[in-house]
């Protein structure tokens, strides 16, 4: 060793010279290094607490979205996508942390001394996103299994499900791009928040523009459709865009990692290709939903009979859209139970029919002429159930609202049984129309047939007593009550289980059940069923007459008419309804709230 | 500064590097052979800058480096240098949530040891060399500072590097660990080129056949430790009282004063100089310029 200015010079042993063909040799181990590093990174990602949390949160989101209604695959696969979105946010944060690890841990200097370059490491991080695939597939598989077990209708779309997986990968690639530039852990969190905010604010986009955010699933009417509608949402284009975004994020990450190094042609080419794919996918997503598909949909909705398949059982016909046949046993059970307890079959038939509460918003109609859209709207306005009511001989079931299991299914069964019982008892409905002050034309107040209908529904489905009692709203304890105004009279009412669930549109829009009617029906359930049946059978026609009162039925059954005390204060000018301790009305007059038909 | 040697394992010629107004390296020239070279210098002398340039981590503003005949300015040759390099930076962070073995395994991959079996054997080897066998499954965050330093040394040893650059490797090590470190370096196979910077002159004296003193960004000495010590010959003396004319004085364990200075008083009791004495005199001389 020597230095100018003195000191002994050392002879040169062990020195070497630059070997020829070094570039080729340098690249040879790169692929193996990428694969080995990617394996480690994938393993870290698989075991990441963040990814696990994302998996659980994603599963929770899918459950929250899909738990209530009967699963429809054309909606459920997008709900799985929503879960993948949550997992994707977790993978984004996790990937950012991994990519920023050397700088965050003050190891950039050491890493710079390794033969594996920053580009090699970034490539390995990108390949290591394979570690997110098991979590994504697990989420998909578990959700699909649960959805199938719950009796899913239709079939899943491979494009939609693949889009979910691509979403996770694209989010991870974005995380790596962020982490390559910004090592601070908050950078990934901010990235995830930004991703989420684009989803949360996507309602600002209108028409087809909304589909430019492939992670958006909430602004749609998938749950209202009677089947899959081609091009709505554009799943294939979504998947294409997500793939393009994943590649673009990867290119950005590699470009950032390369820093001042000479830009590589293949990287630039990949970036250009990714942008081209994204643009192409965007153009595809902005295309209108095919008019033929929309025409067919409008026809199916406006004229369900043209598309539905009907099955008859006695006087009842069940008409369901193709693919919904598996619902039939769930619909027949409560109706058959009601029919089984009827002393006599009603004269008129009943149709239980699925209807589609479709609103042609701009996500469906974008790109179509206004005239065409007006025609579709006009046809839909005449569609069954579009006014929230059903004819006196029909029960409507809005597509997508029928629950799959649990308490909601029990409520839906009760609602269907009550609707069938009201049809059997000939109770007139409110027409489904309430004005702004919760006022109805009439109520079946003090009419024995109402109590009979409620008793039949209770008998058919046996709901928990507490749930039935809760419908009084505290009336039994004098703490409050539910009520409606009918022709200027406030009438205490009873909210039946599942009333707010809109599982069923009863005949005529359904009767407004009174508290008095429920209380008498409840008293009837405490009697031997045989005794009640005998009394009803003995004068069935009389009990169905609107003039027959609760008191008369109670007397025939040998029970005291249940009463209740209205809680003070009631509004000025209140007319106490019949059947209460506050007053009585023997006959319906011009201002009477009682339904006189 | 220019070299006057033709062939050396590692050569630096006219290296300069500035950080703003601070000149960290000023035309440094070096020629390193196989074996251990100690780099001595105070804080801010440019040791870390020099080592990071030799490790291809940073680039000089001027001058050139050749490592085993390879030029780090060329990307492919730089990678080739890194394949033969083991580097311990002065302030090394760690992935604290990794276990010791997982960290070494990860670094081994970054050093392109991609064969799983070879990697496992290599990790086991350096764990044993650094005395960390029992800590393989311990998370790094649970290690003491000394153990982390040993882990840093272990990662530098991965792949049997031909060039080992250690920036203050003994910082944070207790006396026993320092002795073990000396043993470890002395027993490395293949006679690699080892450059270590340290403040510990006794480390240099104990294991380095060659020493370079870097002061204010310039090489002030290059030679053997004995030669460095010899630069202080006749300028170290002992006395019962403190000598105000000495550059540095301290009372030894025997109660007598040891003086280092340019001119001992007439009749002074001269004592044999050490590497430390030589370094102190060089440092003082550099400061006086």
Sign for the pseudo-dihedral over CA of A19, A20, A23, A28: negative
Q: What is the ipTM of this complex?
A: 0.92
Residue B26 has pLDDT above 80, yes or no: yes
- CB-based contact B192:B184 (threshold 8 Å): no
- Could you tell me the pLDDT band of residue B173, with boundaries at 50, 70 and 90? confident
- CB-based contact B35:B8 (threshold 8 Å): no
Rounded CA separation A497/A442 (Å): 22
* Token reading at A362: 């701009």
Q: How far does B279 lie from chain A, in Å, by closest CA?
A: 15
pLDDT value for A264:
78
Across the interface, which of A7, A18, A36 has its CB nearest the CB of B109?
Answer: A36
Q: Please, which residues have CB within 8 angstroms of residue A570's CB and are 6 or more apart in sequence?
A: A490
The H-or-E segment that residue A155 falls in is none
Find the closest chain A residue to B76 by CA distance: A23
Question: Would you call A15 and B68 a contact, using CB atoms and an 8 Å cutoff?
Answer: yes
Q: Please, which residues have CB within 8 angstroms of residue A105's CB and are 6 or more apart in sequence?
A: B93, B94, B95, B96
Question: Would you call B109 and A19 a contact, using CB atoms and an 8 Å cutoff?
Answer: no
Question: Would you call B6 and A12 a contact, using CB atoms and an 8 Å cutoff?
Answer: yes
B60 phi and psi, to 5 degrees?
-80, 155
The 3-state DSSP class for residue A5 equals coil
Interface test with A, best of B8, B13, B152, B213 (most A CBs within 10 A): B8
Q: How far does A134 lie from chain B, in Å, by closest CA?
A: 22
Counting one residue from A and one from B, how many pairs have CB atoms under 8 Å apart?
160
Q: Compute and round to an integer the Cα radius of gyration of chain B.
A: 21
The 3-state DSSP class for residue B60 equals coil
Q: Compute and round to an integer the Cα radius of gyration of chain A.
A: 34
DSSP annotation of A290 reads P
- Longest CA–CA span in chain A (Å) reads 130
Rounded CA separation A346/A120 (Å): 79
- Alpha carbon distances (Å) from A85 to A57, A178, A247: 10, 18, 18
Distance of CA A498 to the CA centre of its chain: 18
Interface test with A, best of B79, B208, B218 (most A CBs within 10 A): B79
pTM metric for this prediction: 0.84
β-partners of residue B10 are B32, B67
pLDDT value for A565:
62
The 3-state DSSP class for residue A438 equals coil
Q: Please, which residues have CB within 8 angstroms of residue B11's CB and are 6 or more apart in sequence?
A: B3, B5, B30, B31, B32, B65, B66, B67
* Token reading at A71: 């699963």
The H-or-E segment that residue A57 falls in is helix A49-66
Q: Does B37 touch chain A (CB under 8 A)?
A: yes
What single string gives the DSSP state of each residue in A474-534? Answer: TGGGTS--EEEEETTEEEEE---TTGGG---B-BTT----BHHHHHHHHHHHTS-HHHHHH
Q: Does B32 touch chain A (CB under 8 A)?
A: yes
pLDDT value for B180:
86
Task: List the beta strands (DSSP E) in A315-436.
Answer: 316-320, 350-355, 394-398
- Alpha carbon distances (Å) from A108 to A33, A104, A212, B90: 18, 8, 38, 12
B198 phi and psi, to 5 degrees?
-160, 160
- Residues in chain A closer than 8 A to B55 (CB atoms): 113
Token look-up 């602004």 returns A219
Question: Would you call A1 and B212 a contact, using CB atoms and an 8 Å cutoff?
Answer: yes
Rounded CA separation A178/A249 (Å): 9
Rounded CA separation A532/A524 (Å): 7
Distance of CA A306 to the CA centre of its chain: 27
Question: Would you call B222 and A3 a contact, using CB atoms and an 8 Å cutoff?
Answer: yes
Helical packing angle, A448-461 and A328-340, nearest 10°: 130
Q: Please write the tens of the pLDDT for every residue from B226-255.
A: 999 999 999 999 998 888 888 899 998 888
Residue B38 has pLDDT above 90, yes or no: yes
Q: How far does B195 lie from chain A, in Å, by closest CA?
A: 12
What single string gives the DSSP state of each residue in B152-210? Answer: HHHHHHTT--SEEEEESTTTT--HHHHHHHHHHHHT-TT--EEEEEES-HHHHHHH-SE
* Token reading at B89: 């930076």
Residue B223 has pLDDT above 90, yes or no: yes
- CB-based contact B45:B214 (threshold 8 Å): yes
Q: How far does B254 lie from chain A, in Å, by closest CA?
A: 36
- CB-based contact A353:A395 (threshold 8 Å): yes
- CB-based contact A492:A566 (threshold 8 Å): yes
Find the closest chain A residue to B110 by CA distance: A116
β-partners of residue A232 are A229
The 3-state DSSP class for residue B267 equals coil
Strands ordered across the beta sheet of B22-32: B22-32, B10-19, B62-67
Question: Would you call A29 and B112 a contact, using CB atoms and an 8 Å cutoff?
Answer: yes
- CB-based contact A591:A488 (threshold 8 Å): yes
Nearest to B235 by CA among B265, B200, B213, B201: B265
Positions of chain A with pLDDT under 50: 1-25, 433-436, 567-591
Q: Indicate the burial class of B164 (C-beta count within 10 angstroms; 0-12, 13-18, 19 or more).
A: buried
Region B47-52: mean pLDDT is: 95
User: What is the pairing mode between strands B35-40 and B210-215?
Assistant: parallel
Nearest-10 Cα torsion for A531, A535, A536, A537:
100
For residue A272, count other CB atoms closer than 10 A to its CB: 12
pLDDT value for B185:
87
Residues 200-259 of B with CB under 8 A from A: 210, 212, 219, 221-223, 227
β-partners of residue B212 are B39, B222
Token look-up 């942390």 returns A97
- Residues in chain B closer than 8 A to A106 (CB atoms): 91-93
Interface test with A, best of B5, B96, B230 (most A CBs within 10 A): B5
Most trustworthy range by pLDDT among A588-592, B4-8, B85-89: B85-89
Question: Would you call B210 and A10 a contact, using CB atoms and an 8 Å cutoff?
Answer: yes
Interface test with A, best of B154, B222, B227 (most A CBs within 10 A): B222
The HSE-up count of residue A590 (CA atoms within 13 Å, CB side) is: 0
A155 phi and psi, to 5 degrees?
-135, 150
Rounded CA separation B287/B289 (Å): 5
User: What is the pairing mode between strands B22-32 and B163-167?
Assistant: unpaired
């Amino acid at each position: 060793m020597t230095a100018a200015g003195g000191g002994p010079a050392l002879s040169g042993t062990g020195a070497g010279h630059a070997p020829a063909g070094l570039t080729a040799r340098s690249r040879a181990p790169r692929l193996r290094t990428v694969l080995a590093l990617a394996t480690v990174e994938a393993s870290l990602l698989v075991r990441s607490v963040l990814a696990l949390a994302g998996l659980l949160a994603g599963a929770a989101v899918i459950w929250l979205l899909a738990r209530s209604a009967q699963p429809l695959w054309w909606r459920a696969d997008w709900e799985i996508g929503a879960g993948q979105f949550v997992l994707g946010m977790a993978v984004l944060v996790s990937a950012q942390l991994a990519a920023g690890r050397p700088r965050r841990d003050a190891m950039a200097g050491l890493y710079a001394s390794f033969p594996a370059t920053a580009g090699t490491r970034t490539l390995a991080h990108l390949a290591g996103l394979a570690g997110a695939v098991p979590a994504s597939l697990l989420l998909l598989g578990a959700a699909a299994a649960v959805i199938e077990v719950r009796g899913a209708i239709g079939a899943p779309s491979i494009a939609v499900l693949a889009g979910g997986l691509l979403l996770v990968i694209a989010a991870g690639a974005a995380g790596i791009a962020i982490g390559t530039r910004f090592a601070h852990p908050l950078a990934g969190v901010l990235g995830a928040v930004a991703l989420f905010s684009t989803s949360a604010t996507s309602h600002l986009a209108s028409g087809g523009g909304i589909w430019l955010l492939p992670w958006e699933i909430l602004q749609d009417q998938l749950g209202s459709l009677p089947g899959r509608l081609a091009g709505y949402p554009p799943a294939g284009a979504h998947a294409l865009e997500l793939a393009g975004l994943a590649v673009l994020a990867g290119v950005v990450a590699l470009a950032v990692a390369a820093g001042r190094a000479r830009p590589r042609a293949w990287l630039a080419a990949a970036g250009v290709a990714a942008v081209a794919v994204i643009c192409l996918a965007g153009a595809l997503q902005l295309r209108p939903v095919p008019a033929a598909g929309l025409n067919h949909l409008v026809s199916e909705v406006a004229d369900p009979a043209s598309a539905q398949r009907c099955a008859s059982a006695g006087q009842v016909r069940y008409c369901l859209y193709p693919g919904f046949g598996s619902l039939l046993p769930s619909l027949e059970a409560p109706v058959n139970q009601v029919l089984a307890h009827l002393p006599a079959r009603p004269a008129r038939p009943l149709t239980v029919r699925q209807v589609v509460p479709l609103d042609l918003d701009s996500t469906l109609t974008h790109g179509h002429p206004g005239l065409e859209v007006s025609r579709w709207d006009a046809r839909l306005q005449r569609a069954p159930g579009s006014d929230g009511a059903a004819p006196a001989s029909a029960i409507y079931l809005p597509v997508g609202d029928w629950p799959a299991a649990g308490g909601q299914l029990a409520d839906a069964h009760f609602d269907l049984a009550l609707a069938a019982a009201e049809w059997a008892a000939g109770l007139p409905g409110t027409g489904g129309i309430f004005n702004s002050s919760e006022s109805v034309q009439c109520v079946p107040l003090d009419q024995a047939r109402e109590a009979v209908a409620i008793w039949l529904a209770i008998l058919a489905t046996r709901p928990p007593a507490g749930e039935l009692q809760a419908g009084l709203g505290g009336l039994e304890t004098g703490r409050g009550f539910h009520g409606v105004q009918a022709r200027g009279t406030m009438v205490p009412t009873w909210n039946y289980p599942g009333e707010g669930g809109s599982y069923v549109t009863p005949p005529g829009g359904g009767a407004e059940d009174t508290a008095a009617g429920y209380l008498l029906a409840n008293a009837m359930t405490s009697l031997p069923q045989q005794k009640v049946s005998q009394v009803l059978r003995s004068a069935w026609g009389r009990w169905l007459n609107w003039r027959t009162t609760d008191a008369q039925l109670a007397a025939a059954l040998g029970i005291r008419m249940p009463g209740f005390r209205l809680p003070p204060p009631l509004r000025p000018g209140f007319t106490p309804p019949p059947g209460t301790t506050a007053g009585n009305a023997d006959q319906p007059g011009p201002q009477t709230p009682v339904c006189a038909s | 500064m220019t070299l006057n040697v033709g062939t050396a394992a590692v050569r630096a010629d006219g290296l300069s590097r500035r950080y703003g107004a601070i000149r960290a390296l000023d035309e440094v020239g070096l020629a390193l052979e196989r074996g251990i070279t100690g780099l001595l210098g105070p804080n801010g002398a440019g040791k870390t800058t020099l080592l990071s340039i030799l490790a291809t981590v940073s680039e000089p503003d001027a001058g050139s480096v050749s490592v085993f005949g390879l030029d780090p300015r060329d990307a492919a040759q730089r990678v080739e240098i890194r394949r033969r390099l083991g580097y311990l930076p002065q302030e090394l962070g760690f992935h604290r949530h990794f276990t010791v073995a997982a960290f070494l395994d990860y670094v081994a991959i970054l050093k392109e040891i991609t064969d799983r079996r070879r990697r496992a054997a290599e990790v086991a080897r350096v764990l044993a060399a650094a005395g960390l066998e029992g800590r393989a499954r311990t998370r790094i965050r649970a290690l003491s500072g000394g153990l982390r330093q040993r882990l840093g040394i272990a990662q530098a040893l991965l792949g049997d590097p031909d060039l080992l650059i250690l920036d203050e490797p003994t910082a944070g090590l207790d006396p026993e660990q320092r002795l073990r470190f000396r043993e470890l370096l002395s027993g490395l196979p293949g006679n690699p080129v080892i450059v270590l910077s340290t403040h510990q002159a006794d480390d240099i004296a104990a294991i380095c056949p060659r020493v370079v003193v870097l002061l204010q960004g310039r090489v002030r000495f290059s030679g053997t430790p004995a030669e460095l010590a010899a630069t202080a010959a006749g300028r170290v003396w002992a006395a019962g009282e403190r000598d105000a004319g000495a550059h540095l004085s301290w009372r030894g364990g025997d109660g007598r004063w040891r003086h280092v200075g340019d001119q001992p008083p007439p009749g002074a009791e001269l004592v044999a100089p050490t590497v430390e004495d030589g370094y102190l005199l060089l440092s003082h001389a550099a400061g006086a310029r």
